[in-house]
Chain A
């Protein structure tokens, strides 16, 4: 069965600090997709990134970067120079069956203090 673990329940940082959110997954499929979503207090999920299992290249988008390592089944997310607006719950998710079966991790609540 597929599973996603986010060991950090809550993280607090001071503005401008870098922060890394960890995600470890389990799957028996060779083809799968990994995601990160942001959920601000409004509740609406904000899509951040999707990665397929064949693409281990790290990605950078502005202050956000992702490190995908199949050897350790991890897909970690780093926010550089954090801002108060980054405060939210962040979910890592795994999708098997070409997007059909979707499992969310428990989430990490990030608080960025001014």
Chain B
């Protein structure tokens, strides 16, 4: 299957700082990528849809000015958590979409665990 990587896998930062998370599709091009957030003992919730060359689409309740998404190339989307606070501590997972003739398949990255002190 296709491979999606995320970097870093784990990050600890101080409150008020910004953190950038990268999501790369390693062996395919993805015009669409997705960002999910998973709080402890909860399910994955879609935060936003990232489209190459255009603005991201955010789900209701997700602050677009706080979670900046850039999808500047067909293999890279970045999520920047600006002015991070402890409540932003979470597991962030990206996925990349391969568009096939019959079905669009999502491949998930390994996730990034963010801890804000």
Contacts and interface: CB of A to CB of B under 8 A. Distances in A.
Interface residues of B, number: 23
Interface stretch (B14-22, B80-88, B102-110): B102-110
Interface in B82-117: 91, 93, 95, 97, 102-106, 108, 110-111, 113
Contacts, number: 47
A43 interface: yes
Given A43-B111, A43-B113, A47-B1, A99 B43 contact: no
B106 A102 contact: yes
B46 interface: yes
B44 interface: yes
Interface residues of A, number: 21
A33 interface: yes
B106 A99 contact: yes
A105 B42 CA distance: 10
Interface string A67-101: 00000000000000000000000010001011110
A112 B93 CA distance: 26
B42 A106 contact: yes
Contact of B97 (A33, A100, A103): A100
A52 B103 contact: yes
Contacts of B111: 43-45
A91 B110 CA distance: 15
Nearest to B32: A100
Interface of B: 1, 32, 34, 38, 41-46, 91, 93, 95, 97, 102-106, 108, 110-111, 113
12 contacts: A43-B110, A43-B111, A44-B111, A45-B93, A47-B108, A52-B103, A91-B43, A99-B105, A99-B106, A102-B106, A103-B46, A104-B43
- What 10 A-B pairs are tightest by C-beta distance, nearest first? A99-B104, A44-B110, A43-B111, A45-B108, A104-B44, A104-B43, A106-B43, A98-B104, A99-B103, A107-B43
Interface of A: 33, 37, 42-45, 47, 52, 91, 95, 97-100, 102-107, 109
